[in-house]
Amino acid sequence: MVQPLRLGMVGGGRGAFIGGVHRLCARMDGQYELVAGALSSDPQRAKESAAELGLAPDRIYTSFAEMAAAEAKRSDGIEVVSIVTPNDSHHAIARAFLDRGIDVICDKPMTTTIEDALDLVQTVRRTGLIFGVTHNYTGYPMVRQAREMVAAGELGTIRVVQVEYVQDWLTTKLEDTGQKQAAWRVDPARAGAGGCLGDIGTHAHNLAGFVSGLTLRELAADLSRFVPGRRLDDNVHMLLRFENGARGMLWGSQVAPGNENGLRLRVYGDKAGLEWSQEQPNQLRFSPVGQPPRVLSRGGPNLGPAASRATRIPSGHPEGYLEAFANLYRDLAEQIRARRAKRAPDPAALLVPTVEDGAHGVKFIHAAVESSAKNGAWVDMQLK
């Protein structure tokens, strides 16, 4: 057994869904111990939330700046921080800890501006620290199996990539009811330039590139605000052009009644096609040209090492969201330990989205907003 990494958390206090998810997934493999936190921007809520989690009184902070400064001075200070706040604060928090030599795990989108995203890229490259972005769907075993099959050439040359992420929870003006999670996600000051686009569209964009191995060259987007009075998009349609000439489409929506968490990916090459759905995550449909389709199951025979490594329980038992999320935390723990030991990390642990991936996600948001404002004009995805 290895000594758990000392983890700190910013955000994720009482009533915050994603903070609880991060804490649960961080401890699933015994790789981390939460020892410090600045869990809310409200000082009283921060103290009460941390006390409920059993943090020592001297490791409970009311601001991230205070936490970063104090923890960096301690001999037993945190080794890595998890940032689970609304989007507008990610950059400042990440810089505060990176500048003090502390590795970072950050929720998406990484920042609200391209300038801030590039600043984090440069900071991570300069310091050599670990920075992981929690596009947690990349942790699913069958997503990693799909990526491995594409990379091995089993689909041939990729021609078409179709991805969608559709929900229904914002079909009405939920933000006017006092619902906290809805309120900040539709507030441009906190969420940034994208609503549905930033919240779930970035996951769809990341998943398409992760599995296909392709870089998005340009996009043409149509953003909509269907709910009257809503300040950010709640539906997005876009066309995609990839570097190798492949074409794609992306649909993201939070106003599609009957859809709970419908993330779906389809990738087609000149030899075969693949289909995967997050709501049936343990199966991958593989369709070679001229042959009957096959359904590959998580934990079953003939899967590659990436899927096998990410599988936790035997085939037939449900395995999903939390385990996929925990795979990212486990892989980042290996990267952090390797950096501290000045050794090369296990190559199998390098599938976690990086600071560069985070920057491309921010560019994706801004390119889509620009395209839509220009009536769906094609916009270059190159980071400048």
pLDDT at 72 over 80: yes
Distance between CA atoms of residues 195 and 201, nearest Å: 9
pTM score of the predicted model: 0.96
Tens digit of pLDDT for each residue in 183-237? 999 999 999 999 999 999 999 999 999 999 999 999 999 999 999 999 999 999 9
Instruction: Specify the pLDDT at position 300.
Output: 86
3-class secondary structure, 170? coil
Instruction: List b or e across 6-41, with b for residues whose CB sees 16 or more CB atoms inside 10 angstroms.
Output: bbbbbbbbbebebbebbbebbbbeebbebbbbbbbb
Instruction: Specify the pLDDT at position 302.
Output: 84
Instruction: Specify the pLDDT at position 142.
Output: 98
Beta bridge partners of 219: 240, 379
Q: How confident is the model at residue 14 (pLDDT cuts 50, 70, 90)?
A: confident
Could you tell me what percent of the chain has a pLDDT over 90?
94
Q: What is the DSSP string of 234-262?
A: SEEEEEEEETTS-EEEEEEES--TT-SSE
Enter the DSSP assignment of 107.
Answer: P
Q: How confident is the model at residue 277 (pLDDT cuts 50, 70, 90)?
A: very high
Instruction: Specify the pLDDT at position 32.
Output: 98
Helix (H) or strand (E) holding 71: helix 64-73
Instruction: Specify the pLDDT at position 194.
Output: 97
Q: How confident is the model at residue 48 (pLDDT cuts 50, 70, 90)?
A: very high
Summary count for the chain: helices (H), strands (E): 13, 14
pLDDT at 1 over 90: no
Tens digit of pLDDT for each residue in 332-346? 999 999 999 999 999
Instruction: Specify the pLDDT at position 248.
Output: 98
Beta bridge partners of 7: 34, 80
Beta bridge partners of 264: 164, 277
Instruction: Specify the pLDDT at position 315.
Output: 87
Integer CA distances (angstroms), 309 to 119, 144, 233, in order: 33, 10, 38
Instruction: Specify the pLDDT at position 362.
Output: 98
Average pLDDT value for residue range 123-135: 98
Tens digit of pLDDT for each residue in 280-289? 999 999 999 9
Instruction: Specify the pLDDT at position 17.
Output: 86
pLDDT at 28 over 90: yes
pLDDT at 384 over 80: no
What single-letter amino acid sits at 200?
I
Average pLDDT value for residue range 156-176: 98
Average pLDDT value for the chain = 96
Distance between CA atoms of residues 107 and 86, nearest Å: 9
Most trustworthy range by pLDDT among 9-18, 44-53, 229-238? 229-238
Q: How confident is the model at residue 2 (pLDDT cuts 50, 70, 90)?
A: confident
Lowest mean pLDDT among 16-20, 169-173, 285-289, 339-343: 16-20
